[in-house]
Structure formats: C-alpha cells, structure tokens
C-alpha cells in the first residue's frame, strides 16, 4: 500500500562514503565530474523475478514496475529524496478549493511508435486505470478524480470530488504511467512508452531486452542527452546465491535484492560495489483489534512495552537486515516522522502494570500467524515469543507459506502477525491506508474517530507544515493505541561490478537510477 | 504386442490424465485466495465493488462446474486457455518451455544411467570389495543429499571457483549448441544424482539376484567366458526391474526439475507452474500440471513397451 514521501536514509558506512558522493539523499557511484561521462554499454541486469505481465496498469508487481519504469514516464516523478519533480508535466497549479488541478505537459515528446505525446494521452491513461474493465489493482488511487479533460494539446485538467493532496504521489507512482491509446490493446505483449529505453523483446523466464531511445526528452544537469546506456538486458535469476554468483563471475553487471547473507562476501570483492541501505518500509507486529484481549489498547501497549526492537534486529536479522523502529511507520529521517527515542526499549514494569489494569495480571495465550516464505518476517517470531514470556504472554507460532498466508491476512483471519509495507510517496499512504477505518488496506480492524478525522484533514490541506502537524499527532496517538507494534525497517541493496558507473540508488525500490548509469571500461 | 493392447493402454493413460486434470482443478480452488487477491496483494488499492467486477471479468464468479466445463471443452479442442497474468495462450508458453524441461530431464537420465549402470555392475561383480564399498557410499550420499544443496555446492565449485560453467541462465540450442550444453550441464548433473544412486543400487541388487540363478551356473558350466555370461545372460535379465525403477523415477526427475529450474534460472515447465501457483493463475497451473502428468504417463507406456523388447517372455495381448 503506502507509497509515501520519504526522505532518504542518511546512514552511510565509512566505506561507502569514501566511494560515493552524497547526492541529495541518495548515493551516486563515482563523483560526478570525477570522470567524464561516457555514453554507452549494454547493462546486463540480474533480476529476482519475471514481470507479472507487461501491462503496467494491470499489475501491482514490483518486478513489472522495475523492469518497465524506464520504458515509460509518469506525469510527475519522485526525485531520489522523494520530492515531486516534473516529468511529462512541466508545471501544475491547484485551485483554491483544491478541487481542480491543471497540468501543463511537455511538448516535443514522442512515443516509441513515433506518434507525438499530447495532453489527451494523460486523460486516456488515468481513465484507463480507473476503468473497471482494465482490472487495475490501483483503480482506487484515482477514486476521487471525477473527470479529466484535455482542453488542448498541452493542458490537462483533473476535477476532484473532494480535495486530495496525495494526488501528485499517485501520479508519480511508476506503474501509473502514460500510455498511447492506440497501443493499449497490446501493452501486455509489446510495451510502448515515452521513456529512455524502448522495449525490444521478452522471452519469459529468460530475458527482456531494452534498447536506447535516441529521441528521449530527458537531459542531465549539464544538458547532455539521457540515457547514457545503449541498452539494458534483464535476465532472471530467482535464487539469491545464484544471483550473487552471477555477479561475481561477471555473467551480469548489476543485480537487485542482494541477500543479507551475500553482502559481506560482495563487499570483500574488489570488482564489486554494494549500493543501498535502509529502505522506505516498516515491519510491525499487527494485532487484530477486533479480538479479545487485543481489543483493549492497554493490552496492546503492554506488549509494545515488552518488546526489544534492537534485539530483534541484532538476533533475528543477524545485524545486517534492518534498523530498529522508533515507533513510527515513516522511514528514518522522513520529514513527516515523529520518532520516539524510547520506543522499542523494554519496560517490563510498565508492561505488567498495564496488563494488570486490563485484567490480565497473569498474561494470556497469543496466536501468532507468520509467513515462512520471507525470513525477515519469519525470524522475529521466536524472539518475540521469548520477549513476551516474562509478562506471561504465551505465544504460539503458526508459520504458513506466503500464498496461503496472504489471503488469510487480507481476510483478517489472524490474531497477531508480523507484516510490513513499503512506502513510495505521500505520507497519506503510510497512515491512511493501514489505519483509516474505511480503508481497504486496514488489516487490523482498527477504528478510531480522532485518527479518522485527522487523516481526513491531512488530505484536504496541502501545505507540508500543516500536514506534518496533523501527522505527528496521528503518530503519537498510534503509539498510545498500538494497533501495531512497530519493530524495524528492512534494508535493501543492489550490487554492481565496478564498471557500472553513475547508477543512483533510490530508497523506494525504484530503478529510475539506471537512466544515468553507464558502463566504463 | 497387439494393437488392441496398445489402444487399451493409451486409453487408460488418457483416463489417468483426465483424473489428474480434475484433481488439479479442484485442489487449486481449495487454496485460499484467487488471482484478484494475489494481483492486488498488500499494496494495491481497489474498492470492494471493483474487486467483484474484476472477479466477474476473470470469469471467477461462475459456478465451479461451469468453469471446469469451459476449461475442459477448450482442452478437447487443444486450447489450454489464456494466462490470467500475461494474456498469453498457455499452450504457446508450454511449447516454449517444455523443450527445456525435456532436455534437462533427458540429460539427467543419461547421466544417471551412464553412472549408475557401470557402477552397479561393478559393485555386483566385486561384491564386498573396495569397489562395492565406494559404490555403496555413493548411493548413500546420492539418495540422502537434497539436489538443491548439491546444486548450490556445484555452483560454488564449478562456476565461482573454477569458472567452467555459467552459474545460471539458459542458452537455446539454436543459439549455440555448446552454450546450450554448458548451460544445462550443472543443472542436469545436480538433478541426476538421486537417480544415479537409485540406479546403482537396483542394478547391483538385480544383477546379484540373477547371478545366483541356476541358468547362470549352467552358462558358466558350458564354458562361456565371464564377460559373455554377464552381458548376454545376466544383464539382460537384470534390466527389467532397472527399467521399472527408472520409469518410475522419471516422475521424481520432473518434480526435482521444478527446484533445479528455479535454482539455475531455467525457463522450464516447472518454473512456469510455480509462478502460476504464486499468482493463482489457474489456466497456467492446470495446463502445466496436466502437461507434466501426461508426459509421465507416456513414459510409463514406453516402459511397458520396452519390457517386451527386452524380455521375449513378456507379451501383451
């Protein structure tokens, strides 16, 4: 769910600092200017999974997004720090009542089929996502958009039924891309966009080939044409050990999802750079607050007081997989975050006192349903079991395969679980989706009128400062009411051979950074 | 063997395949969740009304027997349906992937026989000696070690340390024949281990059994050389159970191929099915499982036919 504004993590190892230049809040390999930018090279990228279909509007898969986000463009985009910047729209204005958004689109842009891009393509694309016949998993993103009109070739006007400040971040999400109407019927086999790379071919579970788009509109800071690479060839290496080996043997130049077990080996390899760090996500212990005794906020807060987040990070994640959470869904350093330095440090006296007040002085048994598919969601279970034992809560762990587990959790058939969500854009996504009482993404049955009111107000005001004030209150109240215990945030790493230069890591699992990459000799 | 027998055998095989089809169709729908829940996942954003509409458009609102009829009537016409995920015809993707699985399991079978047959013969002839001990140790390891673990060890040794073979990826034989063999060598070797061990054991046991028979003593008594006795008399008779075991083991080869294809990133039927399961892409899983089941059934028909070829006493009518 959540795609939310993030300010990127600032934790850098000394090693990366010597290698990298801090650019905005992300990392860039090789200081710009230290070496003259040279175009060229076909990057061989080792990916974890095939795209789940090639039509970006009908899937929510990160694999499809990552492999096609450089074939398409969005109306507006995120920069590496999570700020909204122009893309196919060069500027935009909002009416005073927040109901009318007018975008001016870039002229001189061509689709890969040669046809000139115009404002009506924006209207067509967003309406296509909204259309039930498209079967898009993000039709709800534009639920509040009443109509979209393109009065001329360079203007597009969105009319909303209610003010909705997260609109820009929805438009920046790189699966909500702009497509040409005439190619829509065949997008699932032959993507056509305006982006820096042209789709060439795709052989399922073997490879996808992208070629440089010589007519791409984008330029770097010095006015040089982008992209630098001649092409990208994705191959599919689902096994993490095999993926790391492929990089070390030079079968590929760049890999995604470096397993935590492979990081130290890769860091010790003189031919390889490891890029990344904390990612924009949170992992939490979710409670089904409709069930007794978890319906009592005191019980939930008591559990939060018993849990030691640092221990979970150090023991369960072996010290490489995450950052202990300071009690918020926002990533470290986010503008909207209200971290609490004392969160996640156990205080068993308080925990016991709260349990006593709630009428459970001797604790109770707690069913914890987890997925065995992802280590980072499975491993904390035993630690939590041990941490809750001293206050009398006896945790029974039930581990299920992901594709069996997920439908259960979506149907709220669980008592407690360990789950997380990753963020992209707006703070609204981080807070509204999981915690608003009328949200489809609310998996905890949590319902609080005050939080609902604040979240609704957050959608109607557009000044970041005013929104921050509301969201800080929401976060504090969430800690008091504890529908979740925030545990940690995961890290995410890519790795590349040293020949790969100019690649920029985005903390929101986006590979837009490949637009500025090239292969050195 | 008579034509009547063959027709009956094939009809039985078709019946078995139909049973598999019904079973996989029903079992798939017993797993919680469907393509809509998997597509939306945790991070999608779709109202309940739109979700219902998506189910209708995927045809999931139809009663199960209707869904089965429409799938089955398509099958009869050779139409495996369309993937809910990629909009590609399932049959077209199966044709694309089956050669990979076939080559992988075929190579593994060849490796297993090339290793298992001589090793088993050697162990039987040198019973209780060093060669027998070495062969039993191999059998023990081969049967006990999981193939995914052996595969990872092989990748680390042959790809990373020695650089002899690529760690993963698939090269089609039309692109480069040597590249193709190189890309399949490690996966086939890893996959063949279990079967090689099983073959060694059954060859040894079966040969020892035959060697103690009276007619072998007779053959020796009439002055035949040791080699001729083993090859002409003993081995031929010992092969029947060996072929039975190999035929049955093809099933586990096809099963093991799922893991090996995933590990080495090979675009085979197993990996196709696995991705289908994760997304509840019903037509893909049904098509892939049915396809694998039919290949297995066919292998067993071939095994039955082979009995007759090898052993003149076996006749079918």
What confidence score (pLDDT) does residue A196 get?
97
| pLDDT surpasses 90 at A499 | yes
Interface test with B, best of A54, A130, A170, A204 (most B CBs within 10 A): A204
What confidence score (pLDDT) does residue A14 get?
32
Separation of alpha carbons B34 and A403, rounded Å: 10
Report whether A306 contacts A348 (CB < 8 A).
yes
Interface test with B, best of A47, A49, A52, A166 (most B CBs within 10 A): A52
Separation of alpha carbons A26 and A132, rounded Å: 38
Interface A-B, measured as beta-carbon pairs within 8 A, has a size of 159
| pLDDT surpasses 90 at A475 | yes
Range with lowest mean pLDDT among A275-279, A422-426, B107-111:
A422-426
Q: Indicate the SS3 state at residue A86.
A: strand
On average, the pLDDT of chain A sits at: 87
What confidence score (pLDDT) does residue B247 get?
84
Cα atoms in the Cβ-side hemisphere of radius 13 Å centred on A193: 33
Residue A36 makes CB contacts below 8 A (sequence gap 6+) with none
Q: How far is CA B8 from the centre of its chain?
A: 24
What confidence score (pLDDT) does residue A383 get?
94
Percent of chain A with pLDDT over 90: 62
Min CA distance, B121 vs chain A (Å)? Answer: 36
What confidence score (pLDDT) does residue A320 get?
59
Q: With an 8 Å Cβ cutoff, are A403 and B38 in contact? A: yes
Separation of alpha carbons B210 and B203, rounded Å: 10
Min CA distance, B138 vs chain A (Å)? Answer: 26
Report whether B281 contacts B84 (CB < 8 A).
yes
Tokens of B236: 């031929």
Answer whether B93 touches A (CB < 8 Å). Answer: yes
Report whether B312 contacts B35 (CB < 8 A).
no
Listed residue (A226, A207, A208) closest to A217, CA to CA: A226
Range with lowest mean pLDDT among A94-108, A144-158, A263-277:
A263-277
Report whether A245 contacts B167 (CB < 8 A).
yes
- More confident call, A302 vs A18: A302
CA-based radius of gyration for chain B:
24
Kindly state the DSSP code that residue A390 receives in the 8-state scheme.
G
pTM for the full predicted model: 0.81
pLDDT class for A148, splitting at 50, 70, 90?
very high
Question: Contacts of residue A407 in chain B, CB cutoff 8 Å?
Answer: 32-33, 37
Strand pairing report for A394-400 and A365-371: parallel
Nearest to A407 among B33, B265, B277 (CB): B33
| pLDDT surpasses 90 at A241 | no
What confidence score (pLDDT) does residue A29 get?
42
Regarding an ipTM greater than 0.90, the answer is no
Separation of alpha carbons A405 and A413, rounded Å: 9
Helices and strands in chain B, H and E counts: 13, 0
Separation of alpha carbons B228 and B221, rounded Å: 13
| pLDDT surpasses 80 at A91 | yes
Listed residue (A228, A487, A154, A446) closest to A343, CA to CA: A487
Q: Which chain B residue's Cα is nearest to A246?
A: B167
Nearest to A406 among B33, B159, B169 (CB): B33
Range with lowest mean pLDDT among A248-257, A312-321, B103-112:
A312-321
What confidence score (pLDDT) does residue B46 get?
78
Q: Indicate the SS3 state at residue A357.
A: helix
Separation of alpha carbons A55 and A189, rounded Å: 8
Q: With an 8 Å Cβ cutoff, are B38 and A237 in contact? A: no
pLDDT class for A20, splitting at 50, 70, 90?
very low
Low pLDDT (below 70) residues in chain B? 1, 312, 316-317
Please give the order of strands across the beta sheet that includes A504-505: A20-23, A26-29, A504-505
Separation of alpha carbons A44 and A512, rounded Å: 16
Separation of alpha carbons A426 and A329, rounded Å: 12
Q: For the residues A476-497, what does the mean pLDDT come to?
A: 93
Tokens of A257: 């999802």
What confidence score (pLDDT) does residue A19 get?
30
Q: Which chain B residue's Cα is nearest to A409?
A: B42
Report whether A479 contacts A493 (CB < 8 A).
no
What confidence score (pLDDT) does residue A33 get?
42
pLDDT class for A446, splitting at 50, 70, 90?
very high
pLDDT class for A300, splitting at 50, 70, 90?
very high
What confidence score (pLDDT) does residue A36 get?
55
DSSP E strand boundaries for chain B: none
Q: How many CB atoms lie within 10 A of CB B242?
A: 22
Separation of alpha carbons A34 and A21, rounded Å: 10
Q: Which chain B residue's Cα is nearest to A248?
A: B160
What confidence score (pLDDT) does residue A3 get?
37
Q: For the residues A81-98, what does the mean pLDDT come to?
A: 90
Min CA distance, A52 vs chain B (Å)? Answer: 6
- More confident call, A218 vs B301: A218
Range with lowest mean pLDDT among A2-6, A383-387, A427-431:
A2-6
């Amino acid at each position: 769910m959540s795609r939310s504004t993030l300010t990127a993590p600032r934790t850098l190892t000394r090693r990366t600092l010597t290698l990298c230049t801090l650019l905005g809040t992300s990392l860039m390999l090789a200081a710009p200017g230290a070496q003259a930018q040279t175009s060229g090279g076909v990057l061989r990228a080792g990916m974890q999974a095939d795209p789940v279909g090639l039509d970006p509007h009908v899937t929510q898969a990160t694999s499809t997004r990552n492999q096609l986000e450089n074939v398409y463009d969005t109306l507006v985009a995120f920069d590496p720090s999570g700020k909204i910047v122009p893309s196919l729209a060069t500027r935009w204005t909002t009416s005073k009542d927040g109901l009318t958004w007018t975008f001016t689109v870039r002229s001189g842009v061509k689709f890969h089929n040669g046809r000139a891009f115009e404002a009506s393509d924006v209207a067509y694309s967003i309406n296509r996502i909204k259309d039930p016949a498209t079967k898009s998993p993000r039709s709800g993103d534009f639920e509040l958009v009443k109509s979209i009109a393109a009065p001329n070739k360079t203007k597009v006007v969105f009319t909303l039924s209610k003010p909705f400040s997260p609109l820009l971040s929805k438009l920046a999400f790189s699966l909500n891309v702009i497509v040409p109407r005439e190619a829509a019927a065949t997008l699932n086999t032959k993507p056509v966009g305006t982006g820096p790379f042209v789709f060439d071919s795709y052989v399922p579970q073997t490879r996808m080939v992208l070629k440089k788009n010589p007519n791409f509109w984008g330029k770097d800071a010095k006015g040089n044409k982008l992209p630098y690479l001649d092409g990208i060839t994705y191959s599919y290496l689902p096994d993490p050990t095999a993926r790391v080996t492929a990089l070390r043997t030079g079968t590929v130049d760049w890999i995604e999802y470096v397993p935590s077990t492979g990081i130290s080996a890769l860091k010790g390899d003189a031919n390889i750079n490891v890029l990344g760090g904390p990612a924009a996500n949170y992992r939490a212990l979710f409670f089904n607050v409709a069930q007794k005794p978890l319906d009592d906020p005191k019980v939930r807060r008591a559990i939060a007081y018993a849990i030691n987040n640092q221990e979970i990070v150090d023991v369960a994640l072996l010290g490489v997989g995450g950052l202990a959470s300071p009690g918020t869904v926002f990533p470290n350093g986010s503008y909207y975050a209200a971290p609490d330095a004392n969160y996640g440090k156990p205080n068993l006296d308080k925990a016991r006192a709260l349990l006593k007040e709630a009428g459970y002085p001797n604790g109770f048994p707690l069913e914890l349903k987890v997925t065995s598919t992802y280590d980072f969601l499975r491993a904390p279970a035993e630690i939590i079991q041990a941490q809750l034992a001293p206050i009398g809560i006896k945790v029974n762990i039930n581990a299920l395969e992901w594709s069996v587990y997920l439908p259960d959790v979506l149907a709220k058939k669980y008592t407690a679980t360990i789950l997380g969500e990753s963020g992209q854009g707006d703070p609204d996504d981080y807070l509204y989706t999981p915690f608003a009482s009328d949200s489809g993404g609310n998996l905890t049955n949590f319902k609080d009128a005050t939080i609902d009111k604040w979240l609704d107000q957050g959608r109607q005001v557009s000044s970041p400062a005013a929104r921050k004030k509301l969201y800080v209150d929401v976060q504090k109240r969430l800690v008091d009411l504890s529908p979740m215990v925030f545990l940690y945030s995961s890290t995410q790493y890519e790795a590349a051979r040293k020949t790969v230069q100019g690649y920029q890591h985005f903390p929101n699992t986006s590979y837009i950074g490949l637009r500025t990459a090239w292969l050195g000799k | 063997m008579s034509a009547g027998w063959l027709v009956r055998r094939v009809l039985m095989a078709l019946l078995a395949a139909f049973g598999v089809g019904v079973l996989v169709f029903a079992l798939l729908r017993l797993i919680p969740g469907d393509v809509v829940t998997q597509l939306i996942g945790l991070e999608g954003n779709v109202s309940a009304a739109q979700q219902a509409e998506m189910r209708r458009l995927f045809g999931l609102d139809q009663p199960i027997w209707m869904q089965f009829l429409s799938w089955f009537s398509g099958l009869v016409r050779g139409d495996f349906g369309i993937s809910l995920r990629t909009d590609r015809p399932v049959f077209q993707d199966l044709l694309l992937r089956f050669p990979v699985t076939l080559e992988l399991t075929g190579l593994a079978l060849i490796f297993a026989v090339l290793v298992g047959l001589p090793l088993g013969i050697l162990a039987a002839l040198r019973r209780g000696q060093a060669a027998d001990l070495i062969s039993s140790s191999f059998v023990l390891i081969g049967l006990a070690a999981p193939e995914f673990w052996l595969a990872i060890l092989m990748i680390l040794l042959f790809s990373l340390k020695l650089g002899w073979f690529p760690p993963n990826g698939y090269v089609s034989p039309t692109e480069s024949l040597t590249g193709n063999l190189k890309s399949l060598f490690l996966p086939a070797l890893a996959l063949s281990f279990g079967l090689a061990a099983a073959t060694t054991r059954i060859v040894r046991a079966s040969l020892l059994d035959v060697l103690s028979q009276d007619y072998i003593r007779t053959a020796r008594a009439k002055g035949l050389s040791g080699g001729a006795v083993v090859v002409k008399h003993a081995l031929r008779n010992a092969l029947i159970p060996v072929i039975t075991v190999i035929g049955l083991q093809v099933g586990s080869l096809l099963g093991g191929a799922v893991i090996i294809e995933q590990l080495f990133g090979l675009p085979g039927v197993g990996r196709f099915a696995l991705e289908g399961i994760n997304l509840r892409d019903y037509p893909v899983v049904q098509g892939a499982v049915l396809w694998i089941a039919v290949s297995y059934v066919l292998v067993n028909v071939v095994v039955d036919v082979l009995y007759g070829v090898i052993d003149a006493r076996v006749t079918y009518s």
